[in-house]
A and B are shown apart, each in its own frame.
Chain A
Amino acid sequence: MRFVDEFRDASTARALAAKISKLCEPGRHYKFMEVCGGHTHTIYKHGLEDYLPDNITLVHGPGCPVCVIPMGRVDDAIHIARQPGVLMTSFGDMMRVPGSDGNFFDSNAAGTNIRMVYSPLDSLKIARQHPDLHVVFMAIGFETTAPSTAMTVLRAAEEGIDNFSVFCNHVTIIPAIKAILDSPDLRLDGFLGPGHVSTVIGCRPYEFIARDHGKPVVVAGFEPLDILQSIYLLMRQLRQGRAEVENQYARVVPWDGNPVALRAINAVMEPRPYFEWRGLGFISHSAMRMRDRYAGLDAERRFDLPGVRVADPKACQCGEVLKGVLKPWECKVFGTACTPETPIGTCMVSPEGACAAYYNFGRFDRRRVREVSRA
């Protein structure tokens, strides 16, 4: 298959791993964060950690759109869905994210109508088909899904559809990376930049990481060889004493991103003063809300929201996992009370979540990780 087989060749992977090992300085430990949950998924699906020397640790970042949605926003969404005549639509992986009183499936069992859709455009189609209902799209995601939401809002406005609105929960990746860089818990040597977010925002927004923090960034693709090559490029920069932004994923990511998509987002949305991230707390200018011009399509303005801040369950340590401070199996409830079937925390819900990736690919604890690695 084009763009797949050539990026999964085991002998090339072993050769890259050998080159990475050669670049390691004896006695030094390297810690790289892969910002994007898609990378976390690839790393564990293909067992890439086992190719790497012991002194390279991969830390999993906050780039999983479902994982960072705080409980209060799930409660707000369920509140909207409970209003008479409302049909809510949502991406599939949002359905099992726990709110303080259950998830979307539980809410449906109690009488709401929350449907899974593939895209916001599908939600708009449902609105056209059901003029008697008000369709609310639960919009989540980083700059990868924001263009889709923005284009849907523009289309709805153009067609004058008034039984449709968006509950906007879009977040932006750069403020989250800044929050991590400012966190005293974590000392990182470099970043694997999120490949698909970068197709939209480009590579320039990461330049401050290299310039102000002296850490290399490599924007990486999602196949196993993409990730190994990106780690090699990070190691090469460190060895040569450089800190730059490099683009490993140039077959998809233009250096300047997608200006048309950025203009569409900017036409429809503006930054919020602050937004709560699960585990990371309130981060300023880290999320988007609808502009006044599209107030009629903004569910937050059409419905009176409780907007109550809900603390995460005490047992859940998603916050530490999202910041890369804890490995998933170090969480008290990982794999016991919290599993993909009955998640307590968001990191266990999405396949992009670090906990789900560890659980699904058999890395249950330190002993098991060593066994899997030897196999």
Chain B
Amino acid sequence: MSGQQGGGRCSTGVCATCADLAEEATVLRLLDRGMAVVATGAGELEVSVALVAAAVGDTVLVHAGEAIAVVRG
């Protein structure tokens, strides 16, 4: 739940279950049907990369399991 993990308040501002907080993640493997395995601060996660042109190694911005931007720089 929002901001609460194990009874304490979330300190990072990026909880996996928060509605509208983005996570930056690195693409590890591209899968079928626009999906990919990404590395987040909290471990590996399968997300959709169908809306961005992301390659392995790119950092993407993930909102609710969907990458919506590639982070440049």
The chain A residues found within 8 Å of chain B, CB to CB, are 2-3, 37-38, 41-42, 45, 64-66, 91-96, 116-122, 140-142, 144-145, 147-149, 151, 155, 196, 199-200, 222, 250-254, 258, 260-261, 264, 340, 349-352, 356, 360
Contact = CB atoms under 8 A, between A and B. Distances in A.
B19 A340 contact: no
A251 B18 CA distance: 23
Contacts of A140: 19
Contacts of B21: 38, 351-352
Interface string B8-33: 01100101111111101000000001
Contacts of B55: none
A175 to B, nearest CB: 17
Contact of A147 (B9, B51, B59): B51
Contacts, number: 144
Given A42-B13, A196-B22, A141 B64 contact: yes
Contacts of B56: none
Contacts of A45: 13
Nearest to A264: B51
Given A120-B65, A199-B68, A258 B18 contact: no
11 contacts: A64-B20, A93-B2, A120-B65, A121-B66, A148-B48, A151-B48, A151-B50, A199-B61, A252-B71, A261-B51, A351-B13
B3 to A, nearest CB: 4
A356 B21 CA distance: 15
**B interface secondary structure, majority:** loop
Interface string B46-70: 0110111000000101011110110
A122 B16 CA distance: 12
A112 to B, nearest CB: 16
Interface residues of B, number: 33
A153 to B, nearest CB: 12
Nearest to B19: A91
Q: With a 10 A CB-CB cut-off, give which of B3, B34, B50 has the most chain A CB atoms.
A: B3
Nearest to A122: B65
A360 to B, nearest CB: 6
Contacts of A119: 47, 64-66
A350 B17 CA distance: 11
A148 B18 contact: no
A121 B36 CA distance: 13
B26 to A, nearest CB: 9
A148 B65 contact: yes
A258 B51 contact: yes
Contacts of B15: 92, 351
Nearest to B35: A121
A118 B71 CA distance: 21
A148 B19 contact: no
B73 A93 contact: no
B47 A350 contact: no
B68 A120 contact: no
* Centre residue among A95, A119, A120 by max chain B CB count within 10 A: A119
